[in-house]
């Protein structure tokens, strides 16, 4: 909270081009247009492609604790969720569990903050412990695609349930984390109706 307030009151520079004094200058502020893709048989709605400048904005938000950027990012996620719900109907949001090392380093959950930055039109969210790791995993960003698949495979468990679920995450690169989320939730009795992400890497 303090870091976010300081970022607003004493902004340093644009997170992309470093032009002072705004968290993002007008030229670097992302525009969003929701697109539909697929992860195996599950539909994926995403607000933008994961490339410049969004990748630099996400790095500043997540790893430099520049939480004022939520105001520039949350509208994109909100648009993706709204379009998914319009197609899928009533769903409950489920957020992938956070890597403990990254959570401890950052001190906050980037995805939960983005959802909070949306408004009350966002669907209800399942309890935070619904989906969890039952073994330690490595930081996915340090791994190639086969390494990510191996790292995530069989790493999660979910509490039993039967609700229709919309998985919501910030970034989808190879999809290995969201595949494991889908597997664990389906095994516990949930129906994973769709996935929403702010940004997706199109390989």
Q: Model pTM?
A: 0.89
In a domain, residue 68? The reply is: no
- When pLDDT is cut at 50, 70 and 90, the band that residue 156 belongs to is very high
Place of tokens 């105001």: 71
In a domain, residue 46? The reply is: yes
CA torsion sign for 66, 1, 96, 142 is positive
In a domain, residue 23? The reply is: no
pLDDT in tens, 103-153: 677 778 889 889 888 776 678 999 989 999 999 888 888 889 899 999 999
Residue 123 near residue 93 (C-beta atoms within 8 A): yes
In a domain, residue 173? The reply is: yes
In a domain, residue 1? The reply is: no
> How many other CB atoms are there within 10 angstroms of residue 69's CB atom?
23
Average pLDDT of the segment spanning 20-32 = 90
Residue 115 near residue 95 (C-beta atoms within 8 A): yes
Q: How far is CA 22 from CA 8, 9, 27, in A?
A: 8, 10, 11
Q: Left if phi > 0, otherwise alpha if psi is -120 to 50, otherwise beta: which for 27? A: alpha
The three-state (H, E, C) secondary structure of the chain, written as one string: CHHHHHHHHCCCCCCCCCCCCCCCCHHHCCCCCCEEEEECCEEEEEEEECCCCHHHHHHHHHHCCCHHHHHHHHHHHHHHHHHHHHHHCCCEEECCCCCHHHHHHHCCCHHHHHHHCCCCCCCCECCCCCEEECCCCCCHHHCCHHHHHHHHCCCEEECCCCCEEEEEEEEECCCHHHHHHHHHHHHCCCEEEEEEEEEECCC
In a domain, residue 69? The reply is: no
In a domain, residue 169? The reply is: yes
In a domain, residue 55? The reply is: no
Q: What is the pLDDT of residue 44?
A: 98
pLDDT in tens, 54-102: 999 999 998 888 989 999 999 999 999 999 999 999 999 999 998 776 6
Distance separating alpha carbons of residues 38 and 119, to the nearest angstrom: 26
151: domain CATH number is: 3.40.50
Q: What is the pLDDT of residue 203?
A: 67
Mean residue pLDDT across the chain: 89
**What are the structure tokens assigned to 193, written together?**
């109706």
Q: Return the minimum-mean-pLDDT range out of 43-52, 111-120, 190-199.
A: 111-120
Distance separating alpha carbons of residues 87 and 20, to the nearest angstrom: 41
In which domain, by residue range, is 145 found?
A: 29-50+76-200
Total domains in the chain come to 1
């Amino acid at each position: 909270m303090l870091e976010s307030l300081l970022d607003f009151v004493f902004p340093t520079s644009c997170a992309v081009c470093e032009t002072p004094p705004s968290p993002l200058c007008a030229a670097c502020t992302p525009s969003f247009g929701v697109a539909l893709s697929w992860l195996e048989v599950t539909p994926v709605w995403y607000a933008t492609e994961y490339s410049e400048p969004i990748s630099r904005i996400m790095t500043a938000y997540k790893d430099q604790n520049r939480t004022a950027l939520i105001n520039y990012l949350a509208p994109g996620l909100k648009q993706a969720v709204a379009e998914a719900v319009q197609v899928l109907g009533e769903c409950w949001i489920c957020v992938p569990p956070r890597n403990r090392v990254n959570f401890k380093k950052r001190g906050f959950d980037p995805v939960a903050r983005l959802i909070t930055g949306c408004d009350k039109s966002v669907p209800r969210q399942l309890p935070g412990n619904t989906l969890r790791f039952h073994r330690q995993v490595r930081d996915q960003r340090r791994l190639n695609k086969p390494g990510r698949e191996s790292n995530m495979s069989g790493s999660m468990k979910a509490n039993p349930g039967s609700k229709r679920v919309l998985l919501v995450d910030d970034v989808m690169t190879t999809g290995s984390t969201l595949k494991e989320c889908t597997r664990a939730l389906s095994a516990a009795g949930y129906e994973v109706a769709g996935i929403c992400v702010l940004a997706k890497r199109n390989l």
